A and B are shown apart, each in its own frame.
Chain A
Amino acid sequence: MSVLIYTESENGKFKKIAFETASYAKEVAEKLGSTVTAVAINVDDTSELSKYGVDKVLSVKNEKLSNFNVKAYADVLQQAATKEEAKVVILNSSANDKYLAPVLAISLNAGYASNVVALPESTSPFKVKRTAFTNKAFNITEITSDIKLIGLAKNSFGLKEHEGAATVDAFDPTLNEDDFSINVEAVDKATGKVTIADAEIVVSGGRGLKGPENWGMIEDLAEVLGAATACSKPVSDMGWRPHEEHVGQTGKPVASNLYIAVGISGAIQHLAGINASKVKVVINNDPEAPFFKAADYGIVGDAFEVVPELIEKLKEFKANNA
């Protein structure tokens, strides 16, 4: 009876969220007096998981699983959970994990709590704290089923290192034709660009920038910080920026370490979507902008003067701290 986790990877390497899931699972397992088993699919070297408290790795190597496929991946995890007699299964909050979780919940007959932000408050009854109302509130959810499925909210727990070495077992689940009833025709992914989902820092622009031609300084600021670029809803609705950059309640959620909002007033829907970010900075010429109530740091000033200045100062800082 172990705690089972899915450790997401890309091109044979773990994503950072895999280590966060492992760190979290280790402490859940300690509460339960249990161990952590990780399922890794087509990962070249799984040894790094030992560092984050994983006791055992089920390593799956299968050509057919080279593209993410929801049914097949859920089937792999279901078989692993059954084999390990797992009572708690933990995923993260990436697009793939959120796609997998409800499908897995049905095949495991498990109650599922998504967007979980902390360790279980109690394990009997099993209660977890999750965000609700798009970060405007928290909700304590009791999972009443025998098997519990948790979706850990991104960047909510951090990485915690542990001593130890994980054993690695090859795992060869049985896949059937029905697992592949959805075919991936094409994947279109920007390479070498920081994505909003994975970014530690996000730089976001709003209507205050006056037009798409002024986005150069947002991109420059993002570049010096190694950040992803994002935008507010009106900016995406007006077509100044592609809609995949829209962050907020109906756009992408942001849970970065640092969120810098330039020329964004801070409508309630925008703030809801970015509220899970740890530190928020606002630059706006209107001191009455609601964003100042949500931010940790603010500059009341003209973005066209402040941002270039900030870029220069950050460059100096990076040069001195390289």
Chain B
Amino acid sequence: MKILVCISHVPDTTSKINFTEDNTKFDTNGVQFVINPNDEFGLTRAIWFKEKQGASVTVVNVGGSETEPTLRKALAIGADEAIRVNAEATDGFFVAKQLAKVVEDGDFDLIIAGRESIDYNGGMVPGMLASLTNANFINTCIGLEVNGDTATATREIDGGKETLKTSLPLVIGAQKGLVEESDLRIPNMRGIMMARKKQLTVLEPVEANQETKAVQFEKPAPKGEVKLISPDNVDELVNLLHNEAKVI
């Protein structure tokens, strides 16, 4: 089985978010970048397939050379090779088009991408990629087994889950649950050394238009002070929730 894991290079979950150039660009100053958490759950499952069922794992990112350390980390965790499409990830449609070319050329059976990136939260790449490559698509995937050409997947739905059966090629939108937090791997020294020797191919982008443009950013208005209520006066909280906040 040939697996492709799509990796987004995103600010660490603890990052403070700021913007520059008149609020048109994300300020990367002092920001630590990581593998998008949803992608990392997917990557970890891919490595499980490699170890248990025999599979090759390729990771891919659409981005500039600054994203290469993130791809190297994926290699250190256990991916076999990496591809970087040398272009700025301008919008979900553009990225999906680039990835579709990689999928078609590489003849992948299983394509894993996080359900959304934690920066732009677009949630569009996995579904668009599936449609562009005529693959089956399962979003918010929290369980996946593959047997020959058949896949059995669990999808998180509002208020529960459902079990789906389909065939490869398949694109999944990965998230927590696909593997647990405790299954995530921290690269060890041997992995880091080996990652340096693994192939990282840089491809030039294919022609594709952009259908959305992030033109401006805003930070939420500063929050007012919390209203503190004495633990001896819980009645007051009920009163405020009813009469002031009007939520009960």
Chain A interfacial positions (CB closer than 8 Å to B): 68, 70-71, 94-96, 98-99, 101-103, 105-107, 110-115, 127, 129, 131-145, 151, 181-190, 193, 195-198, 200-201, 225, 233, 237, 243-244, 246, 249-251, 257-258, 267-269, 272, 275, 278-279, 281-282, 292-302, 305-306, 309-310, 313-314, 317, 321
Contact = CB atoms under 8 A, between A and B. Distances in A.
Interface stretch (B52-60, B79-87, B102-110, B237-245): B237-245
B161 A298 contact: no
A258 B165 contact: no
Contacts of A278: 245, 247
B215 A134 contact: no
B49 interface: no
A41 B121 CA distance: 28
B223 A293 contact: yes
A115 B121 contact: yes
Contacts of B139: 70, 95, 98-99
A103 B137 contact: yes
Nearest to A129: B218
B17 A133 contact: yes
Contacts, number: 268
Given A132-B121, A133-B119, A269-B14, A258 B215 contact: no
A182 B164 contact: yes
B186 interface: no
B138 A189 contact: no
State the main secondary structure of chain B at its contact with A. Answer: mixed
Interface stretch (B1-9, B61-69, B197-205, B206-214): B206-214
Contacts of B152: 185
A187 B160 contact: yes
Contacts of B230: 299
Given A111-B93, A138-B220, A142-B212, A244 B156 contact: yes
B247 A107 contact: no
Given A138-B217, A187-B160, A195-B158, 20 more contacts: A96-B157, A103-B131, A111-B91, A112-B212, A114-B123, A138-B220, A140-B216, A141-B214, A144-B212, A144-B213, A183-B166, A193-B159, A198-B159, A244-B160, A250-B13, A250-B118, A282-B226, A297-B240, A302-B231, A314-B238
Contact of A184 (B156, B160, B163, B218): B163
B236 to A, nearest CB: 9
Interface in B6-20: 11, 13-14, 17, 19
A112 B211 contact: yes
A107 to B, nearest CB: 7
A321 B136 CA distance: 51
Residue of B158, B173, B214, B226 with highest tally of chain A CB at under 10 A: B158
Contact of B241 (A98, A281, A300): A281
B160 to A, nearest CB: 3
B248 interface: yes
A279 B241 contact: yes
Nearest to B176: A250
16 contacts: A102-B92, A106-B132, A137-B218, A138-B219, A140-B216, A185-B152, A189-B161, A196-B159, A243-B176, A250-B176, A272-B13, A279-B245, A296-B226, A300-B231, A301-B231, A317-B238
A281 B217 CA distance: 28
B157 A189 contact: yes
